[in-house]
Structure 1
Amino acid sequence: MATRRTPAARRAFTFPTPALPGTTREIGGDEMRLRALLETDALGLRVLGGQDELDRTVRGVMTTDLRDPSRYLSGGELVLTGLAWRRTPEDSEPFVRLLAGAGVVGLAAGEAELGAIPDDLVGACRRHRLPLFAVNESVAFATITEYVVRQVSGERAGDLAAVVDRHRRLMTSGPTGGGPEVVLDLLGTDLDLRAWVLSPTGRRIAGASEKLSVAAGAALATEHLAATRAGRRAPHRVALDGTTYSLFPVRRPGRGAATAGGVGADVREGVLSDWLLAVEADAGEWAAPRLDLLQGVTQLIAVERDRRDAARTVRRRLAQEILELVQAGAPPAEISARLRVAAPVLLPGQGAAPHWQIVVARVDRQEGGDADGGEGTGAAEGAEGAVGSGPVAQSLLEEILVDPATAGMESGDRIAVAHTGGEAIALLPMPAPAASRGEDEGGGDATPADGGLRADVLLASVREPLAAGLADDGRLTLGVSASVHSAEGLRGALEEARHARRVAAARPGRVCAAGHHELASHVLLLPFVPDDVRRAFTARLLDPLWDYDRRHRAELVPTLGAFLDCDGSWTRCAARLHLHVNTLRYRVGRIEQLTGRDLSRLEDKLDFFLALRMS
């Protein structure tokens, strides 16, 4: 008897042939006609329609129960289905229409699910001239797949068909199919290849038992994103600490690929959300069959990625509903009720969340120039031609909020991110200050005493990869609110996070973040002072000191900064600079003489303080 898989498993996984996405690559040099399936007694297939089309050439095989598998098809496939996608008779027509439009040569439907092939499916196949076969429940789809692969790839390298088929079997067994870990384990055992699936920031999602460090993952992601943005053809080869890695993009089916000499708009949109497969080997030395195998593996992993993203739908919807209530000014009681619904989903087994925090992110793409916005203001979103991408920011924020030292696909269970317009908004529950995240692998505590996230630590380990992916025409800005204890505080937290993000956007750089603690008076105001005013103010106060330091190799500007940091205390400043107090007094006197200011006056101290902050 054939092994019966659950409908969920069928919907979650397909088996694309190992060819590049969007191409119509033949599996091998030999041709196979559809009628050959009827000539093999072991398959036990019965043709139900399309007898006049049995001379079609089969170039691949795919198993699916997705309602719309067209994005995984490149033409020439025999599609195998268990009919779990069919819920009503009306589902057959659109399913068959999509297959015919994608260039599928035939459809084989299993009888195990419904007991017989429904008439509505037979009729739809006849209308679209798509040959239809019935698969007896005693015949496993794996048997048909093996037969097709043998027929169309008779001269192929011996290990390719076996390894790919084992991947397919394990990825489609059980409700989760084993996940990418199973596929990567087989690469190690069958082909002696150590490989890892990495997020766009370099976080390890799956892979060999020998873990990559956070720094190594970030370095590989940086190289991959830079190569993709430069339009170089994959796989990208990278030497890191004496080891060569080959990097393969794990792209969503239907997305285009970067080509030499340019980067398509779809690549630019997706580069910040695509995973990558890092293999510890030099792919430049591989034969074509092995490259085909790795491309097939990336497609299998992409299907698992879609399953993971589908699991996030509930959390995203919860965040969207709560944020819509907050922005609409709904009564606190209504928001509190929705928070009570969300807390068990985001914090399973821990009850209601005592604290909540808001994180706002925006990814801006510059259509007509440099997205940096220049020195000083740097506000990309306000520059002409800047376009915000909410879905890209949503996917990226979900990844940023995961601890970089945390491996696995389900490590973002506490994260609920919505997007509205060009910005992404995360609603983050904090279980309790004592249970908050401790020090990460790169050092530095990511959570202050109130259990909330710190903006400066949040981007520490992902800044370089993200900057490489943004290249010279994009920016990421992020703002973090303080944690709040009730529904009444969420609206203020949202505004606080948005304002902090605007402060970050006013700074130069590709990747910038600001937290609620930075919304002090001078930090709040300085980024929005026009550039010409900032330059004139700092030049009037500090140019004489910089000029004196250059000519006399003195240190008046550092001395001024230390003096202000010590609140004008002579003894503390002298100890900090390892100077005699008289030497310090001499330097301060020289500063006053050159600038015409008096550092005993509060107004002059404040002017110097602002000038140093703006310089």
Structure 2
Amino acid sequence: MRLRALLENDALGLRLLGGSDELDRGVRGVMTTDLKDPSRYLSGGELVLTGLAWRRVAEDSEPFVRILAGAQVAGLAAGEAELGAIPEDLVEACSRHRLPLFAVNESVAFATITEYVVRQVSGERAGDLAAVVDRHRRLMTSGPAGGGPDAVLDLLGSDLDLRAWVLSPTGRRIAGSTAGSAGSAAGLPAATAAALAGEHLAAVRAGRRAPHRVVADGATYSLFPIRNTGRGAVPPSHDVRESVLSDWLLAVEADAGDWPAARLDLLQGVTQLIAVERDRREAARTVRRRLAQEVLELVQTGAPPAEIAARLRVAAPVLLPGLGTAPHWQVVVARVEWGADSGVESGPVAQSLLEEMLVDPVANGPDTADRIAVAHNGEEAIALVPLPALAAPDAAEDADAAPADEGLHADALLESVRAPLSAGLADDGRLTLGVSAAVHSAEGLRGALEEARHARRVAAARPGRVCAAGHHELASHVLLLPFVPDDVRRAFTARLLDPLRDYDRRHRAELIPTLEAFLDSDGSWTRCAARLHLHVNTLRYRVGRIEQLTGRDLSRLEDKLDFFLALRMS
């Protein structure tokens, strides 16, 4: 319980004489004493009740209060039956030592207060907490059959009636209850999880002591950090920015400020056990990171496409087990930047964060991150994302109408994580991302990398703590700028015209010549049809097919300009 609860109970008749800013202190017990030095009987967190029999002169108050403050008691309640009004010297001593002081009306027995406090702080279930911790440890160390964090959290529910979830820094549910209280359908809504993650990140950046107390959607949660303790863990004296965007948290639906020390120790032990699972998953990413690094080095050094394709064939079974055909690939580039002279190495921070962001948000199994390969190159993290090839359609017409806009989208990538990540970045950090178009071969991978990098630079020019840009935003007016790399221009041209070339090759449909004639005719249906010796309805069919394959609209000036430039650069 908290000290302020004593004032909320009118039956106790307590008046606050000092320490109003300390009323959130937790009370873990109660002790009645009139000894001048009761320190041997204090363990911290007690509400001390005294009848003031120990006070003979005003000078007695200072040493008595100093002893209580040194023992870290929660507060002092002094009875008025012995001396009448509480002496001013005691009020002043409590003020100096920031010890909350209550006056107990002479009509209220100490036994009434004691009974109330004991009833409040002993509400936890009976049982051997050490045995509970041991059961958790056996589950976590018994291999895959142990069930991982979910089994630990199930025990918290069964043994201590606590609903709890393990969350990522973005609010993704890693483990925990999927059933709501009283039979409700949802465990922890995604919006609530994101809000809790944001509150946790803000508290960590502000240096507040854990557990952090948060009220969300009418419920109180206590948030415990889950630190990285394995290989690569940062030392306790590290800059918090090195880990704030990668550490997990344990969210418990309860107010931990009211808990006794034993229960707090139990939850701290649980976070340490879950940290073991976090370290195991971190180690499992080593192979995927190495694959990404190898492919990235080949691409950046200008290796032959055949060599890159061979490496991709090796990577595909690891990232997409059971896949029968080579997937398409997409590149995502991320950069985390802190304030000037921060001294924080940002590459690993961006790498860990990008791995988390690319996990399927609706999945929470142990292998949800097994399909993401992220390398870091200096201050930049680069993700190689495999996209399963589109399922074979039933008819050729369906194949022709396959969506040209597959894969990840920058806006969707940030939709649910912008708020919590902004809290973690606080007022001195920025995250910018760039997303390339999907490429179908090793030849296009270098262009995709440059495209993603340029998109990230476009995002960096925008205001805000978290920004992203995709390949769609590399419009023609941007490509006209002289600093845009040739690879980006080629990627833009290929993305716009390759679907038409493929269609022409399969069907001899002459969509590319039709597009050129249509633009040269300034979009006039009659002049273009006459130039091509076609019926206007046939021309309309071809133009409709061009729009369907590319996702563009030839009635829009912007799309006409993009096609015009793509044809001139091809």
Counterpart of 2:350 in structure 1 is 393
1:68-108 per-residue CA deviation (whole Å, 9 max, x = no partner) reads xxxxxxxxxxxxxxxxxxxxxxxxxxxxxxxxxxxxxxxxx
**1:343 and 1:422, CA in 2 relative to 1: closer, same or farther beyond 3 A?**
same
1:211-247 per-residue CA deviation (whole Å, 9 max, x = no partner) reads 3121111011011101111111110011111100000
Structure 1 residues 44-83: aligned runs within 5 Å: none
Question: How big is the shift at 1:499?
Answer: 0.5
Counterpart of 2:48 in structure 1 is none
**Does 1:179 find its partner at 2:152?**
no
Question: How big is the shift at 1:451?
Answer: 2.3
Counterpart of 1:206 in structure 2 is 175
Counterpart of 1:219 in structure 2 is 195
**Does 1:237 find its partner at 2:210?**
no
**Does 1:424 find its partner at 2:366?**
no
Question: How big is the shift at 1:286?
Answer: 0.3
Q: Whole-Å Cα distance in 2 between the matches of residues 462 and 189 of structure 1?
A: 32
Structure 1 residues 355-504: aligned runs within 5 Å: 355-367=328-340, 389-433=346-390, 449-504=404-459
Pick the aligned partner of 2:250 from 277, 284, 287: 277
Give the TM-score of the pair, scaled to structure 2: 0.57
Pick the aligned partner of 1:354 from 327, 332, 343: 327
Q: Whole-Å Cα distance in 2 between the matches of residues 405 and 174 of structure 1?
A: 25
Q: Whole-Å Cα distance in 2 between the matches of residues 306 and 448 of structure 1?
A: 39
Identity %: 80
**1:219 and 1:523, CA in 2 relative to 1: closer, same or farther beyond 3 A?**
farther
**Does 1:162 find its partner at 2:128?**
no
Aligned AA (1:181): D
Residues 171 and 420 of structure 2 are in contact (CA less than 8 Å); yes or no, is this contact kept in structure 1? yes
Q: Whole-Å Cα distance in 1 between the matches of residues 198 and 436 of structure 2?
A: 28
Counterpart of 1:326 in structure 2 is 299
Equivalent residue pairs, number: 345
1:299-357 per-residue CA deviation (whole Å, 9 max, x = no partner) reads 11011101011111111111110111011111111111111111011111013333111
Counterpart of 2:280 in structure 1 is 307
Structure 1 residues 555-594: aligned runs within 5 Å: none
Counterpart of 2:310 in structure 1 is 337
Aligned AA (2:284): A
Pick the aligned partner of 1:518 from 473, 478, 485: 473
Residues 325 and 389 of structure 2 are in contact (CA less than 8 Å); yes or no, is this contact kept in structure 1? no
Aligned to 1:364, what secondary structure does the other structure show? strand
Q: Whole-Å Cα distance in 1 between the matches of residues 161 and 235 of structure 2?
A: 30
Q: Whole-Å Cα distance in 1 between the matches of residues 388 and 429 of structure 2?
A: 34
Pick the aligned partner of 1:316 from 286, 289, 308: 289
Aligned to 1:201, what secondary structure does the other structure show? coil
Runs of 4+ in 1 over 6 A off after TM superposition: none
Aligned AA (1:484): V
Question: How big is the shift at 1:402?
Answer: 1.7
**1:256 and 1:174, CA in 2 relative to 1: closer, same or farther beyond 3 A?**
closer
Ranges in structure 2 where 5+ consecutive residues have no aligned partner: 1-42, 44-125, 180-186, 393-401, 484-556, 562-570
Residues 204 and 408 of structure 1 are in contact (CA less than 8 Å); yes or no, is this contact kept in structure 2? no
Counterpart of 2:265 in structure 1 is 292
Aligned AA (1:268): R
1:557-596 per-residue CA deviation (whole Å, 9 max, x = no partner) reads xxxxxxxxxxxxxxxxxxxxxxxxxxxxxxxxxxxxxxxx
Residues 242 and 344 of structure 2 are in contact (CA less than 8 Å); yes or no, is this contact kept in structure 1? no
Aligned to 1:239, what secondary structure does the other structure show? strand
Q: Whole-Å Cα distance in 1 between the matches of residues 404 and 196 of structure 2?
A: 33
Q: Whole-Å Cα distance in 1 between the matches of residues 456 and 145 of structure 2?
A: 38
| CA radius of gyration, larger in | 2
Q: Whole-Å Cα distance in 2 between the matches of residues 392 and 463 of structure 1?
A: 16
Q: Whole-Å Cα distance in 1 between the matches of residues 136 and 473 of structure 2?
A: 50
Residues 387 and 407 of structure 2 are in contact (CA less than 8 Å); yes or no, is this contact kept in structure 1? yes
Residues 448 and 454 of structure 1 are in contact (CA less than 8 Å); yes or no, is this contact kept in structure 2? no
Aligned to 2:128, what secondary structure does the other structure show? helix
Question: How big is the shift at 1:280?
Answer: 0.5
Ranges in structure 1 where 5+ consecutive residues have no aligned partner: 1-28, 30-156, 258-263, 369-384, 436-446, 529-601, 607-615
Q: Whole-Å Cα distance in 2 between the matches of residues 316 and 448 of structure 1?
A: 30
Question: How big is the shift at 1:387?
Answer: 6.1
Structure 1 residues 247-262: aligned runs within 5 Å: 247-253=223-229, 255=234
Residues 222 and 254 of structure 2 are in contact (CA less than 8 Å); yes or no, is this contact kept in structure 1? yes
**1:476 and 1:525, CA in 2 relative to 1: closer, same or farther beyond 3 A?**
farther
Residues 338 and 430 of structure 2 are in contact (CA less than 8 Å); yes or no, is this contact kept in structure 1? yes
